[in-house]
Amino acid sequence: MMSRRTLLQVGLGGLLVPAPFVRVHAAAPMRALDAVERIKASIGVPWRADTVDRIVAGHPDTAVRGIAVTMMATLDVLRRASAADCNFVVTHEPTFYDHFDKAEALADDDLVQAKRAFIDQHRQVVFRLHDHWHLRTPDGIDAGMQHALDWARNAVAGKPGEFAFPATPLRDFAKTLAARLGADSMRVLGDPALPVRRVAARWGYAGWGPELQALAARDDIDLLIVGEAREWELVEYMQDRVENGARRSLIVLGHVASEQAGMQACADWLRTVFEPLPVQFVPAREPFWTVG
């Protein structure tokens, strides 16, 4: 007759027999450098050698706790990212007040030093993702902006950045645009009653040149939308066109408002790349306020 102990051993298939000791190694934390390499491998376009997309602040070996995605890594954004325990910050625009993030010229500036000190103190890493997000097909910024504005149905086939609408007074069109993008300080040039049917959008900075001049001169474009532009170039050109009798208009959204939704789309994409690592979108605040 088997004892109760023997019956238990048989019933458990011998599980009470000691097993060899197996050491289980915890997965190594992802470093900032590893996160960059994963982005490069997932972005969907060849990575360029000549690019502004790189780590611009922080140590590449820093362990990533969470990812914050933003349009612009202002001090306010860095503080909110730190409060959310996101120490790998993906930004579209420069961190140190120069397109190429060449902070050497401002190395002795007290603000640059304070910003670097905050990044170091909170073990943050700031990674720029500008060129390659624009290089995707479709352009990541444009896709995000179209989604936020619900303009995909209005896109003109074969004409990137151009949209067709039922005739809408410029005043009403501008109000809807401001409400959807939170563009509280955008500026409008042109007759408020102008019927807007055909729109061309150039998100971000509209560099003056032959392509933009030709676009601004087209009689079939009722409204040109840009993020920002030099006022003695595009703005003066559009103002004089209107003074010369053209039925034309211009909206200057502000740079942040004109690309912010594109980086929200980037955050959505990065969640698929880094799951289950937390990814949060931290919007850059509108920098201006208006009188009245």
The amino acid sitting at 95 is T
**Tens digits of residue pLDDT in 125-171:** 999 999 999 999 999 999 999 999 999 999 999 999 999 999 999 99
* Domains, the chain, ordered by start: 32-133 (3.40.1390.30), 140-257 (3.40.1390.30)
- Here the tokens at position 60 are 């590449």
pLDDT in tens, the chain (292 residues): 445 444 444 444 444 444 454 454 556 789 999 999 999 999 999 999 999 999 999 999 999 999 999 999 999 999 999 999 999 999 999 999 999 998 778 889 999 999 999 999 999 999 999 999 999 999 999 999 999 999 999 999 999 999 999 999 999 999 999 999 999 899 999 999 999 999 999 999 999 999 999 999 999 999 999 999 999 999 999 999 999 999 999 999 999 999 999 999 999 999 999 999 999 999 999 999 889 7
Among the listed residues 222, 227, 226, the one whose alpha carbon sits nearest the alpha carbon of residue 242: 222
Between CA 207 and CA 211, with CA 208 as vertex, the angle to 5 degrees is 100
Name residue, tokens 């594109």: 262
Provide the pLDDT for residue 28: 78
CA distances from 75 to 68, 142, 213, 257, 259 (A): 13, 26, 36, 18, 19
- Here the tokens at position 90 are 């993906």
Strands 195-205 and 279-281: unpaired
Tell me the longest C-alpha to C-alpha distance in the chain: 111
Alpha carbon distance 95, 77 (integer Å): 11
* Sign of the torsion formed by the C-alpha atoms of 39, 41, 43 and 47: positive
**Tens digits of residue pLDDT in 215-249:** 999 999 999 999 999 999 999 999 999 999 999 99
Alpha carbon distance 111, 124 (integer Å): 17
Helix and strand numbers (H, E) in the chain are 10, 10
